[in-house]
Amino acid sequence: MNNLVILPVLVPLVAGIILIFFNKQITVQKWISVIASILTIVVSAILVQTVFNNGIQIIQVGSWKAPYGIVLVADMLASLLVLTASIVSLTCILYAFKTIGEAREKFYFYSVVQFLMVGVLGAFLTGDIFNLFVFFEVMLMSSYVLIVLGGTKVQLRESIKYILVNIISSALFVAAVGLLYSVVGTLNMADLSQRVSEVDQPGILTVIAVMFLVVFGLKGAIFPLFFWLPGSYQAPPTPITALFGALLTKVGVYSILRVFTLIFYHDAEFTHGLISILAGLTVLVGVIGAIAYWDVKKIIIYNIMTAVGVILFGVATLSTTAIAGSIYYVVHDMIVKAALFFLVGAMAHISGTFDLKKMGGLIKNHPVLGWMFFIAVVTLAGIPPLSGFVGKLLIVQGGLENGHYVMAAVVLLSSLLVLYSVMKIFMNGFWGETKLSLQEEKGTTKGLLLPIALLLTLSIALGIGAEWFIPYFHQAAETLMNPSIYIDAVLKE
Amino acid sequence: MRTNDLILQTITKIVIFIILAFSLHLFFAGHYTPGGGFIGGLMTAAALVLLLLAFDAKTVKKIFPVDFKKVTAVGLLIAVFTGIGSFIFGVPFLTHTYDYFDIPILGETGLATAVLFDIGVYLVVIGVTMTIIQTIGEDE
């Protein structure tokens, strides 16, 4: 009995519903969105601290006992991701104030953003595999609306692809859940874990595990299943892309992390070997894409894939150090990807184009923006005092300890290429000859810098204060490595 | 050419009450027999669609002067707040309860809070269905 766990889902849900009534009063909408987001952050922060002090928190929805009813489980991993996601959503809303435009705001934009958060936070917190599917659908339905909202030609084209791919993957998800249920006879994750370990994961369960990998891989854009990502994320306006890039793929990654540490970890040589290979290829394709393009948004979009690959590599090694690194890297990446999308959005806002070759010398008129971009770049690449470093260090360390030398080398090499790809934006966009004088600029950065500054401060704090944050991440990794902690918390109450 | 819909419209006026009554019956039957908020809501929406077929969109708007998007939102609010109501009693979210009451005409009747949740579902289904149909219908 602990209603705190459900509050991060309830606050955006109620806010989203109330926002439907105010679709014409934009000022009211803005106030409600900001207040609701701050409230979500506060309850998530309380949740993190409660979990840190008192262990895993669960709520048995409707008072039904664990394997029979739905449980929401807040372990350290889930609550950290909930906190990060709610912070990112606040900055996205703040960024949208200046950029999204009245036409979209009047058509339930803020409402749909809140519903998207319901899906994302619910997916992080749920302890039931079918409930995970439902929250996935809540998230995806909202993302369909956000991707098509505005109705420009490119949005219509890309939303058809996006919806098609996601409907197929959702159908596959239902099929996988159905198969799993017919073999094991339960849907609760803790109970699933217990029963799978009783039968020691025979062949059929490994097949189902791979089906889940395909499903979550489609959501999280891993190597052969990423084809929909570059186009779909290119189409909508910047704050929406930032929301997608920071949160949606990470929900897929989180699900892989959860399912392959809690339920299917008995045939690690096959399943985790497969994840390791796919992670390596994802990293490679990501950096190739990031280097190849001259479109600033595309470069950042391909960097999402690189990050997904790096995180999955941490999962594949199944060592406490690497998993702690993975979790650190997820949190870091959610923050810094959102910041980077905002930054390239601001660049495009000023110069009126996403084409890097048409920009130049922005630093002369926008020094603050320029140096913020520089900080974001070195954070992304993982330069020591900043947050990208700690995660990658732990992942590589965990990889080397377990003899995954090739993969560790791939991760390190990818950092170099990631640095090159974003430094290319910095050098071509900010340095060089000034192509636009102040009068010729298409827009101002007024109001755009605040959300970026918020995220970068957080990212710097996460890097410099790593000593202070590490216990949280170690607790998260401990729980993931010992499924018995999770099972005991859920079933023995 | 003006067609004469006299037969259709007259039959609609009678049949619509039967459909509405049946949908309410389905809705309240949900706890013990097949039925419930979803099918009840669809059936009510079907009655409204029959009205739309027999008359035109303007007449229906005059008979039911409600914004169906708001109906959806109200339904969602009801459903969520029946869940939140459990907070007051210090039990987990969405915990439902029931009791027996002596109601004048019906006699001893079991009333469950799950019905309140179902009213939410009922309103959401009507709201969504009618929004879809009206939006497509009015689209030029």
What DSSP assignment string belongs to B46-94?
HHHHHHHHHS-HHHHHHHS---HHHHHHHHHHHHHHHHHHHHHTT--TT
Q: Which two tokens stand for residue A396?
A: 């590589």
Q: Which two tokens stand for residue A166?
A: 């996601």
Rg (CA), chain B: 18
Set of chain B residues whose Cβ sits within 8 Å of the Cβ of A18: 73, 77
Task: Determine the Cα–Cα distance for residues A294 and A206; give it in Å rounded to an integer.
Answer: 41
pLDDT in tens, A45-81: 999 999 999 989 999 988 888 889 999 999 999 999 9
**To probe the interface with A, which of B69, B87, B89, B93 has the most A CB atoms within 10 Å?**
B93
pLDDT in tens, A365-379: 888 899 999 999 988
Average pLDDT, chain A: 91
**Contact flag A10-B90 (C-beta cutoff 8 Å):** no
The pLDDT, as a whole number, for residue A161 is 93
Beta-carbon contacts below 8 Å between A and B: 42
Residue, of A357 and A126, whose pLDDT is higher = A126
**Contact flag B72-A20 (C-beta cutoff 8 Å):** yes
Residue, of B91 and B108, whose pLDDT is higher = B91
pLDDT in tens, A300-347: 999 999 999 999 998 888 888 999 999 999 999 999 999 999 999 998
**To probe the interface with B, which of A17, A23, A134, A145 has the most B CB atoms within 10 Å?**
A17
The pLDDT, as a whole number, for residue B95 is 87
Question: What residues form DSSP beta bridges with B98?
Answer: B112
**Contact flag A62-B90 (C-beta cutoff 8 Å):** no
The pLDDT, as a whole number, for residue B57 is 82
Distance from CA of A2 to the nearest CA of B (A): 7
The single-letter DSSP state of residue B101 is E
Distance from CA of A491 to the nearest CA of B (A): 16
Q: Which residues of B104-129 are buried (b: 16+ CB within 10 A; e: fewer)?
A: eeeeeeeeebbbbbbbbbbbbbbbbb
**Contact flag A17-B73 (C-beta cutoff 8 Å):** yes
**To probe the interface with B, which of A2, A11, A21 has the most B CB atoms within 10 Å?**
A21
Distance from CA of A182 to the nearest CA of B (A): 25
Task: Determine the Cα–Cα distance for residues B114 and B95; give it in Å rounded to an integer.
Answer: 9
In order of A131, A231, A393, the CA distances from B91 in angstroms are: 21, 46, 44
Q: What is the ipTM score, two decimals? A: 0.91
In order of A120, A215, A442, B29, B35, the CA distances from B107 in angstroms are: 47, 53, 73, 17, 23
pLDDT in tens, A406-458: 888 999 999 999 999 999 999 988 888 877 766 667 777 777 889 999 999 99
The pLDDT, as a whole number, for residue B2 is 62
Task: Determine the Cα–Cα distance for residues A69 and A92; give it in Å rounded to an integer.
Answer: 35
pLDDT in tens, A81-106: 999 999 999 999 999 998 888 888 88
For residue B68, pLDDT over 80 is answered with: yes
The single-letter DSSP state of residue A345 is H
Set of chain B residues whose Cβ sits within 8 Å of the Cβ of A61: 92-94
Chain A's closest residue to B94, CA to CA, is A62
| Mean pLDDT of the B54-61 span | 85
For residue A114, pLDDT over 60 is answered with: yes
The pLDDT, as a whole number, for residue B85 is 86
The pLDDT, as a whole number, for residue A493 is 60
| Mean pLDDT of the A351-357 span | 85
3-state secondary structure of B108: strand
Task: Determine the Cα–Cα distance for residues A474 and B135; give it in Å rounded to an integer.
Answer: 52
The pLDDT, as a whole number, for residue A432 is 80
Task: Determine the Cα–Cα distance for residues B52 and B8; give it in Å rounded to an integer.
Answer: 12
| Mean pLDDT of the B110-122 span | 89
Q: Which two tokens stand for residue A64?
A: 């039904």
Band (A196; pLDDT cuts 50, 70, 90) = very high
pLDDT in tens, B5-24: 899 999 999 999 999 999 99
Out of B73, B91, B93, the one facing A20 most closely (by C-beta) is B73
Question: What residues form DSSP beta bridges with B111?
Answer: B99
Average pLDDT, chain B: 89
Distance from CA of B18 to the nearest CA of A (A): 33
Distance from CA of A111 to the nearest CA of B (A): 11
Lowest-pLDDT range of A219-228, A430-439, B111-120: A430-439
Set of chain B residues whose Cβ sits within 8 Å of the Cβ of A134: none
Task: Determine the Cα–Cα distance for residues A53 and A324; give it in Å rounded to an integer.
Answer: 18
Is the pTM of the predicted complex or chain greater than 0.80?
yes
Chain A's closest residue to B77, CA to CA, is A17
Distance from CA of B56 to the nearest CA of A (A): 26
pLDDT in tens, A138-185: 999 999 999 999 888 999 999 999 999 999 999 999 999 999 999 999
Band (A43; pLDDT cuts 50, 70, 90) = very high
Nearest to A469 by CA among A381, A394, A366, A399: A394
